[in-house]
Structure 1
Amino acid sequence: MLRANALLLVVVCWLTGDVALAGGPPVIYWKCDPVGPNETLMLFGDSLGPPARALVGRWPDAEPRSPEAGGKLPAGEEQEIKPLQAESQCIKLLIPADWRWGCYRVQLQTPAGTAQVLVNRPEVWWSLGDIGPAASPGREYRLFGKNFWLEPAKGAWPGRVVLRTAPGRFQSLPVLAANRYTVTVRLPADLPAGRYTLWLHHGHSG
């Protein structure tokens, strides 16, 4: 049986929705993505409004490392972006028009603390094989979610899907079809029965 994990082939830390207290640090509950150059990013949470300072950086493109490796955005890559609108539970930021598509890290800094979130990260919500959540060797396997293809789709999909066959060992899978919300791959015909993990990279930001 296969289960799918959506990662950038790096480990990314992001904050989940804890209960926010009045006057406490900012908390981000939800982000509106995918979002690209010259488009508005909306973040929802609590304690997000003034005097929040927004720092945004694009995760640099690089050859993806092992899915089991960690990574972080290099220091000094962020730039301050003045919010289009800032309220306690929603803040709107305009992604610079001269930026490229990719994963953006957003930090909201206030005197009470800092919240951060990674935008445009691929997310796998569920998967489907020829026998429900399981799949037979050599058959198609479909991943469903969002942010699988960031730019307007044209040409070949820039991403990849790899199968973890053993600790530290990965095999790239043939991609049969891809769009923003689903990717279809073919499993190896000689794959032994067992439980496996798939890793998806959408082709942007290493």
Structure 2
Amino acid sequence: MARLVPLAYAFLLTSLCPTVRAAKIFWASEPVAPGEMALLYGGDLGGVQSITTWPLEDGEPKEPRGGFPDAPAATVSVPVSQSSSASIKVPIPAAFQTGIFAVDAGGDKLLLNLPKPEWSQPERLLPGLEENEAAPGSRIDVFGRNFVLDVEEPKRALVLLRESATGKAIRLAPDTVERYRLSVRLPEDLAAGNYEIWVHNGHGGEWGWGGGAKLVVKAAESWPSTVYDVREFGAKGDGLTDDSAALRKALAAAEKGGGGIVYLPAGTYAVRESFFLPPKTLLEGDGKDFTWLQWPQNAPHAPSDFLPAVLYGGGRYSIEGLSLVVRNARRVLLDLSVVADRLLPVELAEEEIPAAFLKKAAAVPWETRDLFLREVRIDYLPFAGAPSREPERDPQWALGRWGLGAGRTRSFPSFGRRPQRGNFRLRVPRDAPPAARPAQRTDRRQRLFESDGRFFSDGSGRTLRRFPG
């Protein structure tokens, strides 16, 4: 019994005196310059009264190393200006030079201004590649923080690829460097595999490497390069003749062949119906100022004069180098993934999608991928002309808000899941900047996706967040 009394007393003291937990920092405001205030977020920071900090020396970068640098003989103790359990504010000594600063806050250590590459994507996206994937020889954009601390010295930045399996390191010089983005070209002979991306901003010596971003190097998916010239299928391109049948036949031939290039030479192609873009098919013109695909521009007389959409697809298609002029349609492009993802209710699918196209929707996954629009101008003009004295009686009134509601209060996005910037059907800027094109045309069979452009897909979250405009 006598032995139980001390144990009970000890238990009581433990319960009355809560355990003091070590401070933990999750995030820091970066980059931070000498003389500026650093904001550190974390947990159990209320007890931190001061931090210990020192600048790292700018030596030879060498190779990335683990651990944390030892504190020198001379460090600076900085009192906390403002604190709570979740955050503290501390000033960086103005006497420091621009660089990487080691910080010890209540036992938790971190390096301020260390480069932090987070993710990457090819500068020119290709079929079969997602974010953090690229083909050998391609130029990639790396996104993160602290790639440049001094805007006058961007050439000091370095990139290092470390192969995950072997640890082999390849050092590269970036082409362009900004504070939150850099671009670098991968070697043509880079072996396929998994890599880590490390970045050095020219400060901190061997401790100045920041990494962790993953990169998968692999070949892009190959799409058929057979050319289907619409003029060989009877198209005139004179702006007067109805070229609907010729375009439909060319697209059908590409679909039968497993994909290819449906080519529209310079001209104005007048069409009157909706078309399905088969998988692995590129609908290509001679440039948005030279090839025009034009639907009727007459004033509508009734809501039934509006097509549900002029173009349909099920993923893995591209539109490049032409202009689309659309007036009497509720949408420009409707991807069939809206059926699989139930963004378009089943009861509306039959009236919104032609029966011939609706059959194809069964094979379309809910997460569409590989949709490319490059050097494309879209003139969507459903409200061209002046409204009548009773606009509620105009055919356009039934379109709903912004001409996209299909006559109902609810509007359905055209690309599938997670619509970006409202419910707009049209996913390209009205006059997006033209993509870079070669001065002379090369062999069409070798240039399936040659010009630069933007990627439009609902299949990868980060890509949608990077939608321009």
Query: TM-score, normalization: structure 1?
Result: 0.76
Sort the Cα spacing of 1:126 and 1:95 in 2 relative to 1 into closer, same or farther, 3 A. Answer: same
Q: Which amino acid aligns with 2:139?
A: E
Q: Percent identity?
A: 33
SS in 2 for 1:157: helix
Determine the C-alpha separation between the residues in 2 that align with 1:59 and 1:155.
18
Alpha-carbon distance, 1:93 to partner = 1.0
**4+ aligned runs moved over 6 Å, structure 1:** none
Determine the C-alpha separation between the residues in 1 that align with 2:35 and 2:47.
23
Matched, 1:126 2:124: no
Counterpart in the other structure of 1:203: 202
Size of the alignment, in residue pairs?
A: 181
Counterpart in the other structure of 1:186: 185
Q: Deviations over 1:22-58 (max 9, x none)?
A: 7422222321111011100011223323553311111
Matched, 1:163 2:161: yes
Sort the Cα spacing of 1:156 and 1:103 in 2 relative to 1 into closer, same or farther, 3 A. Answer: closer
Q: Tell me if structure 1 keeps the 8 A contact 2:157–2:173.
A: no
Q: Deviations over 1:142-162 (max 9, x none)?
A: 1111111112x1254311012
Q: Deviations over 1:109-150 (max 9, x none)?
A: 3xxxx2222211111111102433322222101111111111
Sort the Cα spacing of 1:193 and 1:72 in 2 relative to 1 into closer, same or farther, 3 A. Answer: same
Q: Which amino acid aligns with 2:31?
A: P
Counterpart in the other structure of 2:30: 33
Matched, 1:105 2:108: no
Structure label with greater radius of gyration: 2
Counterpart in the other structure of 2:402: none
Determine the C-alpha separation between the residues in 2 that align with 1:148 and 1:51.
30
Determine the C-alpha separation between the residues in 1 that align with 2:173 and 2:98.
24
Alpha-carbon distance, 1:91 to partner = 1.5
Q: Tell me if structure 1 keeps the 8 A contact 2:136–2:189.
A: yes
Q: In the TM superposition, what are the counterparts of 1:139-178 in structure 2 within 5 Å?
A: 139-151=138-150, 153-164=151-162, 167=166, 169-178=168-177
Q: Which amino acid aligns with 1:121?
A: L
Q: Structure 1 or 2: larger helix share? A: 2
Sort the Cα spacing of 1:115 and 1:140 in 2 relative to 1 into closer, same or farther, 3 A. Answer: same
Q: Give the unaligned 5+ runs of structure 2.
A: 1-17, 206-469
Sort the Cα spacing of 1:192 and 1:51 in 2 relative to 1 into closer, same or farther, 3 A. Answer: closer
Q: Which amino acid aligns with 1:128?
A: Q
Sort the Cα spacing of 1:31 and 1:123 in 2 relative to 1 into closer, same or farther, 3 A. Answer: same
SS in 1 for 2:175: strand
SS in 1 for 2:79: coil
SS in 2 for 1:141: strand
Determine the C-alpha separation between the residues in 1 that align with 2:62 and 2:153.
24
SS in 1 for 2:22: coil
Q: Tell me if structure 2 keeps the 8 A contact 1:173–1:185.
A: yes
Q: Which amino acid aligns with 1:89?
A: A
Q: Tell me if structure 1 keeps the 8 A contact 2:156–2:201.
A: yes
SS in 1 for 2:134: coil
Counterpart in the other structure of 2:209: none
Counterpart in the other structure of 1:13: none
Determine the C-alpha separation between the residues in 1 that align with 2:19 and 2:156.
44
The one of 71, 76, 81 equivalent to 2:78 is 81
Question: Which one has more relative contact order, counting CA pairs under 8 Å at least 6 apart?
Answer: 1
Sort the Cα spacing of 1:187 and 1:31 in 2 relative to 1 into closer, same or farther, 3 A. Answer: same
Q: Tell me if structure 1 keeps the 8 A contact 2:40–2:89.
A: yes
Determine the C-alpha separation between the residues in 2 that align with 1:106 and 1:155.
24
Q: Structure 1 or 2: larger strand share? A: 1
Q: Which amino acid aligns with 1:125?
A: E
Q: Choose 130-139 or 39-48, whichever is displaced more.
A: 130-139
Q: CA RMSD in A?
A: 2.4
Q: Which amino acid aligns with 2:203?
A: H
Query: TM-score, normalization: structure 2?
Result: 0.36
Q: Give the unaligned 5+ runs of structure 1.
A: 1-20
